[in-house]
Structure 1
Amino acid sequence: MHAKGQAMGSEWKDMEVDGATKRSMPFRIYDGSMQGKKSPVVLYFGGGSFLDKDRNEESPIARVFANSGALVIEADYAQPSENVFPKALEFAFAALRCLSSKRKQYGGRRSLLLVAGEEAGGNVAAGVALKARDQMPNEIDGQILLSPLIDPLMATASFREAEATGMRDRWTEGWSHYLGSGGGYCHPYAAPGHCSRLSGVAPALILTSQDDPLRDEAADYAARLVAAGVEVTSRVLPACQGWTQIYDAGAMAGCVPPDALRAEFEGFIEGLENRTSCF
């Protein structure tokens, strides 16, 4: 491992995540941690509508988290799993187990451990948080869901805005590919928006924007988490502050919100730190 506080390139490297099955997956590290500080460790999953398999570009979202002082590990669940359920969720969860077992190497014994993702990666992060509640209780400290793609029905009022962005067909194709014929449509880890048991999951930061077709399903998930007794910070950012993996480059010109995202992330981390210091 590299020394804390050193800059490190974010090239992809394969890492074994399950020795019993010799399962490995690509990881990319964005290190913004500071020497001597218990920096948060974030396991991050990128978007791509369950269709993209190549993640050559750096994630601007992961970079924002790192610039806030976090150690961010981006796990490429898509390539080894071919973006299908349950393999994608299994790889993502194996990454969490691996990171949890090596927490002292990456952060520290007292470092917060979070899962995060945007769009399809938000679905995976939400699924991992649910599975962690069931199989690794109290192991993760928070989940960050950015415009999560969590409802395969695609029937919300805001989803009709997908017609204008050209994303409806892509998301329809993505859901079909991800769920396939394996019955994932009814599985709470595959479609967290339809999960009926949400109590006990990690505190959540859920962000979307006024012009986001996924706005309503994100807001509904946030409300249902609150009703289940989960601590939630939910924000609808102003229009033109959606996420780069959802809108095309032309539509997103000048709209990437690093300052707003950084402020929300840092506020969420501060709240989690205050919460854990009380126990």
Structure 2
Amino acid sequence: MTTARPGLDPELRTLLADMPSMPQLSTEVLALLRQLPSPPVESLLAHRQVDRREVTVPAGDGTPIPLSVFSPANTEPTTIAPAPCVYWMHGGGMVMGDRFSQLDIPLEWLDEFGAVVVSVDYRLAPEATGTTLVEDCYQGLRWVAEHSDELGVDPARIIVAGASAGGGLAAGVALLARDLGAPAIDAQILICPMLDHRNTSISSRQYSSHEYSNLRHSDGPGVWTREMNEFGWRAVLGNHGGEGGTAEAVSPYVSPALADDLSGLPTAYIDTGSAEVFRDEDTEYATRIWAAGGQAELHVWAGGFHGFDALYPQAHISVTARRTRTDWLARNLSRNRSQSRSRNHTT
């Protein structure tokens, strides 16, 4: 019996109908996908006045982790107040992508707020496993905080952000920074985040590719299915991943839904689609932040499939989702800048 499920937004459904079907992930398919060229970052920068800098940061085991730093080009930097910083973690199921993936999203915040954008090239599974990915991201964040003066960044306005796997890593970094006491994080933006290795939610079952074997692509689960999700988690966690995985053996920094305590976290913006695998785990994460006394803003976009606003940014629902996210960030940055000025006047 086919599981009932929310339908796709009509405009997205039309757009998706013209897209070739995504093959189910396997070791062989992953190897082919990794041969595809990186997103053309030059085209994203062509119409922007941006200074770009490439650095490497040592991971805990000494492996060099690349960071790309994008700053608004200023002719008189001494007259410019410290900028907010968006620390970006890319998506790709923890098995693909690089620091230029989905980079158009945080670059919009460079345009809007003069934010410095730092994007991290964390190591990927299955070559890297366990906590390696989130620890790579954390080490990059530490470097940003330690070099805030050099970067022209306000250390009180560092935002961690990411999409899909990157959203899950951003949540893990926020947990790790809280538990270690540093660096300070102002806010976390979790875009359709990959938060729970157990893969047992209703939405996960609704968007299984097995339910769609006889349907057209545009009627299917979008670009990320339950089976793809299982592949990604197995790559990171080995035998501990997927449904029935041993929770005791999995770190909550890797699978943030396992965290017993969600108190004391930076304010969160969480969005997801109603027609995607991660809908229920994302909604539950926001609910648990509220239950712990924290602050989260949650948006579930009706008819949105996984990553819809990155894949089709000009669709009406995508424009609305991206604008709503940016408006939230504007309110948060404005409030914290006012608080920072107030503290400076009283000291």
TM-score class, shorter-chain normalisation, is: 0.7 to 0.9
1:204 and 2:247 matched: no
* Gaps in structure 2 of 5+ consecutive residues: 1-47, 209-219, 241-245
Residue type of the partner of 1:41? C
**RMSD of Structure 2 on Structure 1 (CA):** 3.1
Tell me the equivalent position of 1:15.
Answer: 56
1:44 and 2:88 matched: yes
Residue type of the partner of 1:77? Y
Report if aligned partners of 1:45, 1:74 keep a CA contact under 8 Å in 2.
yes
| Inter-partner Cα distance in structure 1 for 2:274 and 2:204 | 12
Report if aligned partners of 1:38, 1:111 keep a CA contact under 8 Å in 2.
no
Tell me the equivalent position of 2:40.
Answer: none
Tell me the equivalent position of 2:329.
Answer: 268
CA spacing shift, 1:53–1:237, aligned 2, 3 Å? closer
Shift of 1:158: 1.8
Tell me the equivalent position of 1:154.
Answer: 199
Residue type of the partner of 2:329? F
* Gaps in structure 1 of 5+ consecutive residues: none
Residue type of the partner of 2:69? I
Residue type of the partner of 1:66? L
| Inter-partner Cα distance in structure 2 for 1:155 and 1:224 | 17
Shift of 1:87: 1.0
98-107 or 125-134, which moves further after superposition? 98-107
Report if aligned partners of 1:179, 1:190 keep a CA contact under 8 Å in 2.
no
Residue type of the partner of 1:155? T
Q: Secondary structure at the match of 1:90?
A: helix
| Inter-partner Cα distance in structure 1 for 2:125 and 2:232 | 17
Shift of 1:58: 5.7
Report if aligned partners of 2:123, 2:132 keep a CA contact under 8 Å in 1.
no
Question: Which of residues 85, 89, 108 is equivalent to 2:153?
Answer: 108
TM-score between both structures, scaled by the size of structure 2: 0.67
Shift of 1:115: 0.7
1:180-236: CA deviations, max 9, x gaps?
A: 257775321111112111111111111112223211111100010111111111112
Question: Which of residues 64, 67, 85 is equivalent to 1:27?
Answer: 67
1:1-279 maps to which residues of 2 (within 5 A)? 6-9=49-52, 13-17=54-58, 22-32=62-72, 36-52=80-96, 54=98, 59-69=103-113, 70-79=115-124, 82-109=127-154, 112-137=157-182, 139-163=184-208, 164-165=220-221, 167-181=225-239, 186-240=250-304, 242-243=306-307, 252=312, 254-255=314-315, 257-258=318-319, 260-275=321-336, 277-278=338-339
| Inter-partner Cα distance in structure 1 for 2:184 and 2:73 | 21
Residue type of the partner of 1:16? V
CA spacing shift, 1:9–1:276, aligned 2, 3 Å? closer
Report if aligned partners of 1:143, 1:204 keep a CA contact under 8 Å in 2.
yes
CA spacing shift, 1:194–1:64, aligned 2, 3 Å? same
158-167 or 142-151, which moves further after superposition? 158-167
Give percent identity, aligned residues only: 26
Larger helix fraction of residues: 2
Shift of 1:159: 1.9
TM-score between both structures, scaled by the size of structure 1: 0.82
Shift of 1:161: 3.6
Shift of 1:22: 4.0
Shift of 1:275: 4.5
